[in-house]
Amino acid sequence: MSSPAIINGKEVFELLRDDLAAIEREFGRDTVSNVEAITEIGEYLRAGGGKRIRPALLLLSSRLFNYQGRGAIRLGAVVEIIHTATLVHDDIIDEAQTRRGRPAANTQWGNSKCVLAGDWLYMQAFKIAVQERNFRILDTLIELTQQMVEGELLQMEKLGKLISLDEHFDLIFRKTACLFSVCMRMGAILGEAAPEQEESLAQYGRDLGMAFQIVDDVLDLTASESILGKPVASDLREGKVTMAVIHALERCTSPERKSIETVVREQGFDGVTHSQILAILNRYGSLDAASARAMQYAALARNAICDFPDSEIKRALLWAPDFVVAREK
């Protein structure tokens, strides 16, 4: 059997352009309320952009089964609204000042209005999802939101503490990979996929999401603020321990460990600098180890869909893991 032809990002965008534009319009309509503050916050968040990778995955998953209905557009907007709601709440919890290079919404409207706007967005997402009249879709979305809230609560409990790699992977599954997995699963549900096909796509989404978040965590430590659109090393400043840091903690000397512990415990670089932490991570190859683990997850994602017949859609899904691990922001 010949290997599938390579597809690039531009071709994937062309493949999805019309549907992604329709999702963007739907997102704009769905975040309008008769309460002005909600509409303003919703539009501000939508205008902030984003990669829209989650609705793109849902579209690709449904198209694997030649799904032609409007449901993929509606549910594409649903997952982006849910993602947006989580960002609003995350920024409040983290006391973030910036998001995607702009002031975070909570700095513009205050925490109280943004908490309620985030709640409204969650409810609006479910209101739209109900239009599908599909209990499996609703069950999947309910389980997703529970996982994400549990993940946020667990992370709050672990702030300022050193955690194990297993604990870290559980957190990033709940906070990121679960949504990727659900996007793929919902596309399969719309396309009336066989149970084993649905599970393969859900596994693809999970592994892709794990790779995405590990890369995100590495970029948080290494990229510039102008590229990230937020302060570098935000995770450490918030007392969050990610894979590269855990890797270094398992290998470093007692004084080096104390330096890392100080930053995590104090949630800032008062006594220890960012460059000192980076030097420790580089000394033990910890950033490379995290990047290698992301590539392993990317390979697992590609492997999860290897049994699907070759098609333009499958080639786009095989491209996505490469995009995730190679991105710079």
In the predicted model, is pLDDT for residue 4 greater than 60? no
Which residues have C-beta within 8 Å of that of residue 250, sequence separation ≥ 6?
A: none
**pLDDT tens-digit profile of 124-179?**
999 999 999 999 999 999 999 999 999 999 999 999 999 999 999 999 999 999 99
Q: What is the mean pLDDT of residues 100-128?
A: 94
Q: What is the mean pLDDT of residues 95-99?
A: 88
Any domain includes 3 = no
Any domain includes 119 = yes
Q: Give 33 or 230, the one with higher predicted confidence.
A: 33
Q: Domain span at residue 45?
A: 9-321
Confidence of residue 6 (pLDDT cuts 50, 70, 90): low
Any domain includes 2 = no
Any domain includes 189 = yes
Any domain includes 1 = no
- What is the tally of structural domains in the chain? 1
Lowest mean pLDDT among 49-53, 101-105, 248-252, 315-319: 49-53
Lowest mean pLDDT among 1-5, 158-162, 319-323: 1-5
Mean pLDDT, all residues of the chain: 94
* CATH number (domain holding residue 313): 1.10.600.10
In the predicted model, is pLDDT for residue 13 greater than 90? no
Cα separation, 228 vs 235, in Å, equals 13
Any domain includes 120 = yes
Please report how many Cα atoms fall inside a 13 Å half-sphere around the Cα of residue 257, on the Cβ side: 10
> What residues does 99 pair with on adjacent strands?
102
pLDDT at position 1, please?
40
pLDDT at position 49, please?
74
pLDDT at position 96, please?
86
Q: What is the mean pLDDT of residues 75-104?
A: 92
**pLDDT tens-digit profile of 183-200?**
999 999 999 999 999 999
The C-alpha R_g of the chain, in whole angstroms, comes to 20
SS (H, E, C) 181-227: HHHHHHHHHHCCCCHHHHHHHHHHHHHHHHHHHHHHHHHHHHCCHHH
Q: Give 311 or 231, the one with higher predicted confidence.
A: 311
| Alpha-carbon distances, residue 324 vs 149, 210, 219, 237 (angstroms) | 24, 10, 12, 25
In the predicted model, is pLDDT for residue 242 greater than 50? yes
pLDDT at position 3, please?
46
Confidence of residue 2 (pLDDT cuts 50, 70, 90): very low
Say how many C-beta atoms besides its own lie within 10 A of residue 283's C-beta. 13
Picking from 29, 121, 139, the residue whose alpha carbon sits closest to that of residue 73 is: 29
Query: What is 20-69 written as a DSSP string?
Result: HHHHHHHHHHHT--SSHHHHHHHHHHHHT----HHHHHHHHHHHTTT--S
Are 304 and 201 spatial neighbours (Cβ–Cβ below 8 Å)? yes
pLDDT at position 270, please?
87
> Strand, coil or helix: what is 164?
coil
Picking from 67, 80, 68, 89, the residue whose alpha carbon sits closest to that of residue 29 is: 80
Picking from 249, 248, 255, the residue whose alpha carbon sits closest to that of residue 289 is: 248
Any domain includes 273 = yes
Token digits of residue 260: 């890392």
Which residues have C-beta within 8 Å of that of residue 101, sequence separation ≥ 6?
A: 226, 229, 230
In the predicted model, is pLDDT for residue 226 greater than 80? no
In the DSSP assignment, the letter for residue 98 is E
Any domain includes 73 = yes
